[in-house]
């Protein structure tokens, strides 16, 4: 009689793969993506360093950090063009001004998501409990309203 190893079911093989993937992600840091401009690479590295120092860096934040770095880089380029050409062109606002404003809002949203704004770092506060007011009948409410008016 030969003894073979225990055959793994498809579920146990999937579970093993999932555990390996989780072990790869947990405790690791996101890797800098390829194809970033030099300025975007600098922004990416500074963002990762900031989040690491604050203890809020996770491996799954790579895509949002990449998008954040690209957006900040583009916003800086657009702002440089507006600064050179001026806010007004032929008496009208610069065409890139609305793009600059939209990018600034996206940067704020991503910074909030990454926990880089003061408001996003505040603990969530539970509102203080209000004392329950005794129920007031409609007639009593009308009487109180008359007293206030008098």
Domain boundaries, the chain: 13-123
pLDDT in tens, 47-94: 999 998 888 888 889 999 999 999 999 999 999 999 999 999 999 999
pTM: 0.63
Dihedral sign, Cα of residue 73, residue 75, residue 81, residue 86: negative
Question: Around Cβ 79, how many Cβ atoms within 10 Å?
Answer: 15
Instruction: For residues 96-123, give the mean pLDDT.
Output: 89
Any bridge partners for residue 93, and if so which? 88
Q: Are 86 and 94 in contact (CB under 8 A)?
A: yes
Instruction: Please provide the average confidence, as pLDDT, over all residues in the chain.
Output: 81
Q: Are 56 and 115 in contact (CB under 8 A)?
A: yes
pLDDT at 8 over 80: no
């Amino acid at each position: 009689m030969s003894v073979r190893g225990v055959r793994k079911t498809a579920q146990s093989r999937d579970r093993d793969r999932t555990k390996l993937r989780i072990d790869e992600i947990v405790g690791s840091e996101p890797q800098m993506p390829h194809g970033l401009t030099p300025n975007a690479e600098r922004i990416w590295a500074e963002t990762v360093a900031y989040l690491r120092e604050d203890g809020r860096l996770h491996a799954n934040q790579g895509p949002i950090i990449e998008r954040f770095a690209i957006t900040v880089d583009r916003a800086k380029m657009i702002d440089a063009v507006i600064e050179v050409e001026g806010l007004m062109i032929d008496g009208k606002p610069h065409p890139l001004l609305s793009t600059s404003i939209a990018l600034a809002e996206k940067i704020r949203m991503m910074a909030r998501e990454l926990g880089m704004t003061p408001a996003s770092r505040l603990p969530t506060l539970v509102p203080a409990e209000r004392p329950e007011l005794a129920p007031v009948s409609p007639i009593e409410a009308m009487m109180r309203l008359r007293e206030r008016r008098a």
